[in-house]
């Protein structure tokens, strides 16, 4: 498998695992604070709802990362070399949305070139 594919899969896995951790925290709070029975969280409906929630979270993270990437391009914190978005991306160290821009780069399998300020 190519290294860009591995980086893309790791980026998606990171977003999914953060979402799953948030869902787990909500489940624990619901059980401890609101006395919601455990059987609610083991039903097939709950599992389908959480799978759909993770899918929506992935799409939302992808959208936010894309918006951050476009903002970085507009503010010249990032530059794109090459045609049709498949070139090398140069990202400055002082980019305010650096983590989201890096997520976008990894999701879209682009190459990264670091640029100092």
Range of the domain at 44: 3-115
How far is the C-alpha of 108 from the C-alpha of 82, rounded, in Å? 14
Q: What is the pLDDT of residues 64-91, one digit of tens each?
A: 999 999 999 899 888 888 666 567 888 8
Please list, in sequence order, all residues whose beta carbon lies within 8 angstroms of the beta carbon of residue 18, skipping any fewer than 6 positions away. Answer: none
110 pLDDT tier (thresholds 50, 70, 90): confident
* Tally of domains within the chain: 1
| 83: three-class secondary structure by DSSP | coil
- What is the pLDDT averaged over residues 86-106? 86
How far is the C-alpha of 58 from the C-alpha of 45, rounded, in Å? 20
Q: What is the pLDDT of residues 10-54, one digit of tens each?
A: 999 999 999 999 999 999 999 899 988 888 888 899 999 999 999
How far is the C-alpha of 18 from the C-alpha of 10, rounded, in Å? 12
């Amino acid at each position: 498998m190519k290294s860009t594919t591995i980086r893309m899969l790791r980026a998606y896995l990171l977003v999914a695992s953060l979402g799953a951790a948030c869902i787990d925290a909500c489940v624990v709070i619901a059980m401890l604070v609101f006395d919601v029975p455990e059987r609610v969280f083991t039903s097939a409906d709950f599992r389908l709802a959480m799978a759909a929630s993770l899918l929506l979270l992935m799409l939302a993270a992808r959208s936010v990362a894309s918006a951050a990437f476009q903002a970085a391009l507009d503010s010249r914190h990032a530059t794109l070399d090459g045609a049709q978005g498949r070139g090398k991306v140069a990202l400055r160290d002082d980019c305010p949305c650096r983590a989201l821009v890096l997520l976008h780069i990894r999701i879209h399998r682009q190459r990264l070139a670091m640029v100092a300020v």
